[in-house]
Amino acid sequence: MNVISLFDGMSCGQIALKELGYPVENYYYSEIDKHAIKQTKHNFPDAIHLGDVTRWREWDIDWSSIDLLLGGSPCQGFSFAGKQLAFDDPRSALFFVFVEIWNHIKSVNPNAYFLLENVKMKKEYEIVISKYMGVAPIEINSALVSAQNRVRLYWTNIANRPYGLFGDMECTIPQPKDRGILLKDILESDFDEKYFLSQQRIETMLKSERSVPYVDENTNKYNCLLAGYAKIPTDGQYIVASRGRNPEKPKSREAGLNTEQMLEPRYDGKTNCLTSVQKDNLVMHIPEATKKGYAEINPGECFDFENPKSETRRGRKMEDKSNCLMAKETDFMQFTYEGKIRRLTPTECSRLQTIPEWYEWISSDTQIYRMLGNGWTVEVIKHILSYLQK
């Protein structure tokens, strides 16, 4: 198999092909980001770098030998999180370069395949892309195969069949089987201290006018409450402490018993005695655009801390699945049982994208987070490409 991957990034397509055991004679990749190129060269030294996709006519390739074209053209113009400039955004307009290359390949090899990925977008934009690619996309949420909610559209001529009276094509690839992978399944039990946020860092992120959390006397609503501070309970809320207790005799204070960390709530409207032990008063509310105005995060749970002062942000608490990774240093956090806040590690974020353990990282954390956010969920790509043999 000879493959061309456009906008290759960290080469998730190549990872998927290797995981499937497909024999690849030549893997050509187009990428301009130096960090992504460095990653690919480290993990796949035999891959052939092509450079800027806009200069594709200069590439010295036997185009008739290309069996598969892969690509995830930049999505900023289509994303609901952006300004939705669509094809007027020069980054998303690179889709038309993908079309040019695909048209050239199929003109010299009608048996070639393609796979194009992009974000979920307005229907009018989706229809334009479908018209150019000659097939409607399949929508797959990575949550089926990972611990991440990541809805993406995939256009492909793999396993296609005609339908209707006008020669339209549809993809027959089914949805992946739900593997039941939860966020808790990918969390590490041991991590470097550098991933814990300092109190100063937390306050900077919150951009609060006060240096400590507080209750607004006018609205009776909370600013972000963090571990180690007293809480004035309202609306049936309560304080929680993490204490070492014997699971068989939790009320016993006998010395020498085996203990496990257990959460002990108070329902009496009082806090525990404030001490130097931070875990004695564990509570955190983060702003959220809901009726309550906040989400309550319990020890051990994860949350999305992007734009903490946003008045429209919802879904901050990440329960069974994480939110979708973005192309930036992730603001996905865990409120630990010790009453600290830590950033999800690159290893955990790699697991969200189902990157296999053999893939080696040689980049900084910042670049790893960015590449993962720009990348593909490998298990989804494997699922689609597996139908090349069917």
Q: Which residue shows structure tokens 């969920």? A: 377
- Tokens 């050239």 label which residue? 104
Provide the CATH number for the domain formed by 2-179+365-389 in this structure: 3.40.50.150
Q: Confirm whether 273 is a catalytic residue.
A: no
Residue 106 is predicted with a pLDDT of 96
Half-sphere exposure (Cβ direction) of 4: Cα atoms closer than 13 Å: 26
| Cβ–Cβ under 8 Å, residues 37 and 56 | no
Beta-carbon count within 10 A of 180 CB: 9
Per-residue pLDDT of the chain (390 residues; tens, 9 = 90+): 999 999 999 999 999 999 999 999 999 999 999 999 999 999 999 999 999 999 999 999 999 999 999 998 775 544 444 454 455 555 557 888 999 999 999 999 999 999 999 988 888 888 888 989 999 999 999 999 999 999 999 999 999 888 777 677 888 999 999 999 999 999 998 889 999 887 677 666 555 433 333 333 343 333 333 333 333 333 333 344 555 667 677 667 677 777 765 545 444 444 444 444 444 445 577 778 888 777 888 888 998 988 776 777 788 899 999 999 987 777 898 988 777 788 999 999 999 999 999 999 999 999 999 999 999 999 999 999 999 976
Between helix 34-43 and helix 365-374 the angle, nearest 10°, is 90
| CA separation for the pair 126, 78 (Å, rounded) | 9
Cβ neighbours of 326 (radius 10 Å) = 18
Listed by start position, the domains of the chain span 2-179+365-389, 189-344
pLDDT at 363: 97
User: Residue 38's pLDDT is what?
Assistant: 98
pLDDT at residue 300, as a whole number: 87
* Per-residue model confidence (pLDDT) at position 31: 96
Euclidean distance between CA atoms 297 and 303, whole angstroms: 7
The active-site residue, picked from 12, 75, 224, 324, is 75
SS (H, E, C) the chain: CEEEEECCCCCHHHHHHHHHCCCCCEEEECCCCHHHHHHHHHHCCCCEECCCHHHHHHCCCCHHHCCEEEECCCCCCCCCCCCCCHHHCCCHHHHHHHHHHHHHHHHHCCCCEEEEEEECCCHHHHHHHHHHHCCCCEEEEHHHCCCECCEEEEEECCCEEEECCCCEEEECCCCCCCCCCCHHHHCCCCCCHHHECCHHHHHHHHCCCCCCCCECCCCCCECCECCCCCCCCCCCCCEEEEEEECCCCCCCCCCCCCCEEEEEEECCCCCCCCCCCHHHCECCEEECCCCCCEEECCCCCEEECCCCCCCCCCCCEECCCECCCCCCCCCEEEECCCCCEEECCHHHHHHHCCCCCCCCCCCCHHHHHHHHHHCCCHHHHHHHHHHHHC
pLDDT at position 168 is: 79
Residue in 143, 127, 123 with CA at minimum distance from that of residue 135: 127
